[in-house]
Amino acid sequence: MRDVAIIGIGIMKWGELWEKSLRDIFVEASLNAIDDAGVDHIDSMYIGCMSSGLFVGQEHLGSLLADYLGVRPIPATRVESACASGGLALRQAFIEVASGMNDIVLAGGVEKMTDVGGNEATYALGTAGDQEYEGYHGITFPGLYSMIARAHMHKYGTTREQLAHVAVKNHKHGSMNPNAQFPFEVTVEQVINATMVADPLTILDCSPITDGAAAVIVCPYEMAKKISKKPVVKIIGTGHATDTIALHSRDDVTWLNATEKAGKMAYGMAGKKPDDIDVVEVHDCFTIAEICVLEALGFAERGKGGEMAESGMTSLGGEIPVNTSGGLKSKGHPVGATGIAQVHELVTQLRGDAGKRQVENARVGLSQNMGGTGGSSVIHILEAE
């Protein structure tokens, strides 16, 4: 198996992009990645997208986006794993390059979510849960994550203020990210007193509805060393695991089994442990999610993720900076693009190009992208040359 490196990254400003279509934003981010890589062609392409059929009425994205990017007739495959679609697209691109099937592969993610109303968006996102046993009874993702939060608070003593600290930290980081949807700071009091969505989660505990795309270019490591004009970032570990899609089927609703399993797989492949990681991007679709993910990945003891958030350890300048991009909370969450954008941020950090939000001496980064309430999870570990 060949070693694989990332030689190009691309993103665009995320938000409510009324004037741009799904194909427009994907092409914009992909051309930025191709330009950053300095390559004149790509051999293959994977597109992470959760629900283009429900959001914009468009399927068959492989053909559509290869055409509009101007790269047909290359093979182009749409990948879906709910909100983990982007991370899984990169994993598939990694496997293709590592296997020797192709050399230069684009992994992109895209979602256009604001062309439908709130009820339609809620329905589309709800398809990432168990439709027969959760959706049928009216439960939505804010409701599911509120139950996780309440269970965590009851079991471990996690406080409402600790949840709020996750949002405060991520918005502070996002205020330094020019591509973020909501680049402004918030306070603990504002988070707690914001409009209630599903007790105890307010609207400022929840990631937004977002239009956006991101892309990366991967190639063999030996090729990257020869052709890249920028610091080479190697993918040294990857992991993918699944769990029950329904929250009620799990032994412990506060524990993310798929994240734990995928993390162990990635750590083992990379030969790393949590203490070796310098910067982390995790799937903070809700504030409680970041707390649970950090526990499952071994950055915090079981039940101590809330204390970790409150302590400042996960802030810029802290022991292990988390979501320096602003995370899903501030940067935005176009569900199919999120996993790719996380890796975009890590490469930016490992190249030393993050500006005001730069983590000092960042050499190793980890991204964690998950679908639904953790029914699937994808991990990547990257290392700067």
CA–CA dist 369, 262 (Å, integer)? 10
Q: Which one of 83, 206, 219, 285 is the catalytic residue?
A: 83
Crossing angle, helix 287-296 and helix 141-156, to 10 degrees?
Answer: 60
Type and span of the H or E element at 197: strand 196-198
Determine contact, residues 275/177, Cβ cutoff 8 Å: no
Best CA proximity match to 185, nearest among 195, 198, 196, 176: 176
SS3 string, 141-191, reads HHHHHHHHHHHHHHHHCCCHHHHHHHHHHHHHHHCCCCCCCCCCCCCHHHH
Type and span of the H or E element at 24: helix 22-37
Token code pair at residue 367: 């991204």
Determine contact, residues 110/48, Cβ cutoff 8 Å: yes
Determine contact, residues 365/349, Cβ cutoff 8 Å: yes
Token code pair at residue 93: 């691109």
Residues 6+ apart with CB under 8 A from 285: 83, 141, 145, 206, 207, 328, 333
Q: Is 285 a catalytic residue?
A: no
CA–CA dist 47, 15 (Å, integer)? 20
Determine contact, residues 174/356, Cβ cutoff 8 Å: no
DSSP state of 247: G
Q: Which one of 165, 171, 283, 333 is the catalytic residue?
A: 333
Q: Is 248 a catalytic residue?
A: no
User: Tokens 């996102």 — which residue?
Assistant: 125
Active-site positions? Answer: 83, 333
